[in-house]
Structure 1
Amino acid sequence: MWQLDYPWLLLLLPLPWLAWRYLPDYREARSAVRVPFFTGMSRAVGQKPAASGSQGNRAQLMLNLLVWSLLVLAIARPVWVEKPIERQQPVRDLMLAIDISQSMQTEDFTDASGQKIDRLTAVKQVVQGFIQRRKDDRLGLILFGSGAYPQAPLTLDHASLALLLDDSGIGMAGPNTAIGDAIGLSLKLLDAAHEQEKVLILLTDGNDTSSAITPEHAASMAAAKGVVIHTIGIGDPSASGEAKVNLSALQQIAETTGGRYLRAENRDTLDQVYATLDQLTPHQVKTLSHQPKRDLFWLPLTAALSLFALYHLIAAAWPHRPRREAADGVQPQ
């Protein structure tokens, strides 16, 4: 489909007619001898003065009008509109913060075959499935222990994200647990994102013992920035020391940011937790549409210049020869 980007410029089409209709004729002043018997003399030689202007040359007049119309059409910018190209863009950024402290090596989970596995292995298996279900969301990964470290920035390359998660190991970030630092680092990475909805899913099996910023203060900062934090506790609340999960702190973090606190005691409940998170953060995308345009102004412009050049080439090759009429009354052959 073609269209004109500036159709209002077509109002210039009648401009030559308005100029011919309302402007005075152009007359060129030349030196001449004025005689009172000019009419009689021209009758005697059998020649008649030509009319001024180009009114007598209808071919040139039509050519001028055609060239003018083509030039006006060119400046009105005709374009060919291609079929729309649609692209889906995520409207939500999800950051995954996973605890890889020393306590995650506790083997109190079972896999699909009933074999005992450590907590991190169970988390990896469930989170891998979660990543596969979030095809159009940008996901990031933070691993934390004694400190928090970005394993993957927000990305749509979920295959690379899954590989980076699979390569993570217990104790890589230190033996302790820094929940507050993990939240703070997540906020820093989410600040660089431009999507309106920003969600952090934090999973831990312990309590905060080594953060530079308390989890409560980090949660209040997240609430001020509009970041929702869903917390998942998978540890043993009856344990002692580093291995004791602070469920009340995780619940407070979720409540402060408008998120949800979830508890996972085994692999089945962990599956249910991430299924619940799928429902809490449903799949959403916005569709961007763009229609490419191809300029066609060169077609009428080329036609106008070609006609103009062709006319002058013809005029140069076959110059106009005035009719010769003998003064003695002999008619031309």
Structure 2
Amino acid sequence: MIEFAFPWMFLLLPLPVLVVWLAPEHKEKKHSVQVPYFNRLVQVTGEAPKQGAVLISRNNIQRILISIAWICLVTSMAKPELIGPPNSQEKSARDLMIAVDLSGSMQIEDFTDSQGNKVSRLTAVKQVLTSFVESRGKDRLGLILFGDAPYLQAPFTEDTNTWLTLLRESEIGMAGQSTAFGDAIGLAISVFENSETQNRVLIVLTDGNDTGSRVPPVDAAKVAAAYNIKIYSIAIGDPTAAGEEKVDVEVLEDIAKATNGQHYLAIDNQALSDVYQQINDLEPEKFDSISYRPRTSAHHYPIVVFMLIYLVSLTLVNIRFYFKQRKQEA
């Protein structure tokens, strides 16, 4: 299939006809010899005197070649394009932000890994997040680390390998010892403002109370709901603990409820894995299908066609002239 990028260029096709019709012939003065015996010379030669311009006419082959040349030039300026078959490209329709708590209480070793060894809460989170992220397909993932303040460790990206590298390099206390849970939600909102998709998900993993936010977590969640952000809050640790290690389950539930999300309590590694599996079921992958047709410019082909016709015609004319000359010599 062929389409023209500038089809209006074909309006130039009748331009040579208009030039021939409207523009006067070119006149050129030449020197002449004045002789006193002009009348006698006319009688001897038998030629009658003429006045006016002499028009040099072209033969039919020249007219045809000039017409083809102009048509090819205009067609090339119209920029013909070869349209290929439609191709479909799938693009993730969801931006998934994960916020991880790096406060001091995340170093408590009260989780059991798949081999039965005691590991810290952060280590368990990293292990399970690795499996979770590797199953996300084409989702765009972001990473926020928070403690005394939240930090955007990774903007939304489809490069899961880089995302996992940044997660593995995170350590306890990198963002401070407190828990600025509400500020982490606020940072996620500001990042989501530049997101093009409408299916926005924030997963927050924390094991403590909000101890350092300027904006209360519930208020931040209400703002997130206005931006169509769904929050899944995951409480990590023992809900019966006291002091700074205590998990404020009520606040986490209110946050999830305000955004039509879900709240989960993960007390060990297996429970944390089950939580991610439930999120996989609740948030199935959605894709935008983008269909496009590849376009290949073919503007040079008309010029090539003309050149071939011209070379063939010129060759035939020379051959004809050669045999005609040989015949005259014979």
The match for 2:284 is: 282
Report 1:1-333 matches (<5 A): 2-7=2-7, 10=10, 13=13, 45=46, 57-81=59-83, 87-301=89-303, 307=310
Hey, what's the Cα distance between the residues in 2 that align with 1:227 and 1:287? 23
The C-alpha deviation readout for 1:167-202, integer Å capped at 9, x for no partner, is 222233233222111111222222233333221100
Contact 2:132 2:276 in 1 (8 A): yes
The structure-2 alpha-carbon separation of the partners of 1:89 and 1:55, relative to structure 1 and needing over 3 Å to count, comes to: same
- The residue type paired with residue 103 of structure 2 is S
Hey, what's the Cα distance between the residues in 2 that align with 1:178 and 1:27? 88
Identical aligned residues as a percent? 40
- Name the SS of the counterpart of 1:202 in structure 2: strand
Contact 1:135 1:158 in 2 (8 A): no
The structure-2 alpha-carbon separation of the partners of 1:60 and 1:280, relative to structure 1 and needing over 3 Å to count, comes to: same
The C-alpha deviation readout for 1:80-130, integer Å capped at 9, x for no partner, is 345666544322111111112222223322111222222221111111111
Mean Cα deviation higher: 222-231 or 286-295:
286-295
Contact 1:109 1:266 in 2 (8 A): yes
User: Which stretches in structure 2 are left out of the alignment for 5+ residues?
Assistant: 30-41, 322-330
The structure-2 alpha-carbon separation of the partners of 1:54 and 1:225, relative to structure 1 and needing over 3 Å to count, comes to: same
Hey, what's the Cα distance between the residues in 2 that align with 1:29 and 1:162? 82
- The residue type paired with residue 73 of structure 1 is T
User: Normalised by the size of structure 1, how large is the TM-score?
Assistant: 0.76
- The residue type paired with residue 231 of structure 1 is S
The structure-2 alpha-carbon separation of the partners of 1:240 and 1:60, relative to structure 1 and needing over 3 Å to count, comes to: same
The structure-2 alpha-carbon separation of the partners of 1:56 and 1:142, relative to structure 1 and needing over 3 Å to count, comes to: closer
Contact 1:206 1:244 in 2 (8 A): yes
User: Which stretches in structure 1 are left out of the alignment for 5+ residues?
Assistant: 32-40, 319-333
The structure-2 alpha-carbon separation of the partners of 1:48 and 1:133, relative to structure 1 and needing over 3 Å to count, comes to: farther
Contact 2:181 2:210 in 1 (8 A): yes
Computed over aligned residues only, the root mean square deviation of the Cα atoms, in angstroms, reads: 3.9
- Name the SS of the counterpart of 1:206 in structure 2: coil
- The residue type paired with residue 147 of structure 1 is A
- The residue type paired with residue 190 of structure 1 is F
- Name the SS of the counterpart of 2:285 in structure 1: coil
Hey, what's the Cα distance between the residues in 2 that align with 1:127 and 1:218? 24
The structure-2 alpha-carbon separation of the partners of 1:221 and 1:25, relative to structure 1 and needing over 3 Å to count, comes to: closer
Hey, what's the Cα distance between the residues in 2 that align with 1:181 and 1:299? 62
- Name the SS of the counterpart of 1:68 in structure 2: helix
Hey, what's the Cα distance between the residues in 2 that align with 1:25 and 1:203? 82
- Name the SS of the counterpart of 2:200 in structure 1: strand
- The residue type paired with residue 272 of structure 1 is D
Contact 1:136 1:156 in 2 (8 A): yes
Hey, what's the Cα distance between the residues in 1 that align with 2:138 and 2:22? 70
Contact 2:105 2:244 in 1 (8 A): yes
- Name the SS of the counterpart of 2:82 in structure 1: strand
The match for 1:327 is: none
The C-alpha deviation readout for 1:59-88, integer Å capped at 9, x for no partner, is 333233222322332233222345666544
